[in-house]
Amino acid sequence: MNLRLHNICWLRRYAVWCRYAGGGWWGRGSIVSPEMRGFYEKFLPFNEFKHSLITIGEQILESPDWVPNILRSNDILSLPDFWAMLPDAFAGRVTFAEDEFFPLFCAIADPSRFGTSDNRYPAQLQQIGDFIKRTGQGRAVRILDLGCGVGLGTYELAQIAAAVGGSAVGVTSEHLEVWMASHRHLPHDAARERLFRRYPEDLSVTFSYGFAESYRDGSQYDVIVCNGLAGGRFLNAAPQLTAFLQTCDTLLAPHGRVFAANRFHEGERPGVERLRAIARQSGWSVEGHWQSLVLSKTLSIEKAPLCH
C-alpha cells in the first residue's frame, strides 16, 4: 500500500516541479552544485523522499534492520546526490514499480563507489597465497574478510583457502549485502552478478552481519583481510581503529596476518596512517605501503603455541 502512496505522492510533486521549477531535469554527469541542490530541495525534499523509502523498506524487507544504513544517515544531501550513486535503471526517478523496490534497496546498499569486485587487489592475493604456502604447511586455513561488501573478494579468498581445504567468512555491516553475497545474487546489477559464476558452488564460504570494530564468533583465523574499510570514511576515528585492532587481536591465530588494502584517494591517507600509528603503539608490527598494509602481532603469553 505504501508503495502506491509513495508513487502517487511523488508523481504529484514531480508534476509541480515540471510546472514551476523550469530548467532541465538531472542527468548522469550533471554537476551537483549547491544551487542545484537548493532547487531540487524546494520541490522534492530528499528528507521526505528518504522517509518514504525507509517506511517501504521496513515493510517489504526481511526486517526493519535491513533498510540500508545510508538511508538512516544524513550523508545524502539531495535527490541529485542520491541519483548520482544509483545505476542508470533507477537514477533520475522518483517513482518505481512494485517489483523494482527490492532491487532499488540492493542498489542503495551496494553503490558503485564501494567498488566491491574480485581481482581488485591482485598483489595482495599473491601475498596471501605466499603466506599460506610459507606458514600453512598444507593445513586447512581460515580466512576472515571484514567489510566484505557483496562478497566477491571473499569468494576469491575462499578459493585460495580451498586449495588447502580451508574456508572463508565474510562480515559486513549491511544485512542486504550479506543476503546478496550468500545468494550470489545482485538484483540491481546483472553484469556484476555474473562474476560470482567464476567460483565453484562447493566453496566453503559463509557470510555474517557484523562490525569490524566488534565482530566475535569464537573462532581464530590465520588470515584477516580488511580492504577498503580501515582508515577510510567508515572507520577512521581513533576509538574505532583501536576497536578494530582489538577485534583482529582476538580473532587472529598465533602467527597470523592482517592484510588491509585500499584504493582510497590521498585525502584519506591520514586515516590509514592513524591506523598504522595506533597499531604500532599497541604492539603490532606494521609493514607495507599505506594502500597495502600487513600487520602481525608479537605473540602474547596466552596465544603462544604450546612447546612439546
Q: Which residues bind ligand SAM (CB under 6 A)?
A: 114, 116, 120, 146-149, 153, 172-174, 177, 211-213, 227-229, 234-235
Please tell me the total number of residues recorded for the chain in this structure: 308
User: By C-beta, is 3 or 144 nearer to ligand SAM?
Assistant: 144
Query: CA–CA distance from 285 to each of 29, 53, 297 (Å)?
Result: 44, 45, 6
Three cell numbers written together for 14:
514531480
User: By C-beta, is 156 or 222 nearer to ligand SAM?
Assistant: 156
Neighbouring residues of 144: CB distance < 8 A, sequence distance ≥ 6: 168, 169, 171, 219, 221, 223, 224, 225, 251
Smallest gap from residue 160 Cβ to ligand SAM (A): 15
DSSP secondary structure string, 252-307? EEEEEEEEEE----GGGHHHHHHHHHHHHHTTEEEES-TTEEEEEEPPPTTTSPPP
User: By C-beta, is 167 or 227 nearer to ligand SAM?
Assistant: 227
Helix (H, G, I), strand (E, B) or coil at 240: helix
Nearest residue to 271 via CA among 235, 299, 296, 295: 235
Smallest gap from residue 75 Cβ to ligand SAM (A): 12
**Mode of pairing for the β-strands spanning 167-172 and 205-209:** parallel
User: By C-beta, is 95 or 159 nearer to ligand SAM?
Assistant: 159
Smallest gap from residue 137 Cβ to ligand SAM (A): 28
Smallest gap from residue 107 Cβ to ligand SAM (A): 13
User: By C-beta, is 6 or 175 nearer to ligand SAM?
Assistant: 175
- Distance CA(47)–CA(62), nearest Å, equals 23
**C-beta of residue 252 within 8 angstroms of C-beta of residue 244:** no
User: By C-beta, is 174 or 189 nearer to ligand SAM?
Assistant: 174
Smallest gap from residue 195 Cβ to ligand SAM (A): 11
User: By C-beta, is 17 or 228 nearer to ligand SAM?
Assistant: 228
Nearest residue to 231 via CA among 255, 257, 266: 266
Smallest gap from residue 40 Cβ to ligand SAM (A): 26
Nearest residue to 243 via CA among 213, 272, 266, 221: 213
Three cell numbers written together for 215:
565482530
- Distance CA(89)–CA(242), nearest Å, equals 40
Smallest gap from residue 100 Cβ to ligand SAM (A): 22
User: By C-beta, is 78 or 116 nearer to ligand SAM?
Assistant: 116
Smallest gap from residue 120 Cβ to ligand SAM (A): 5
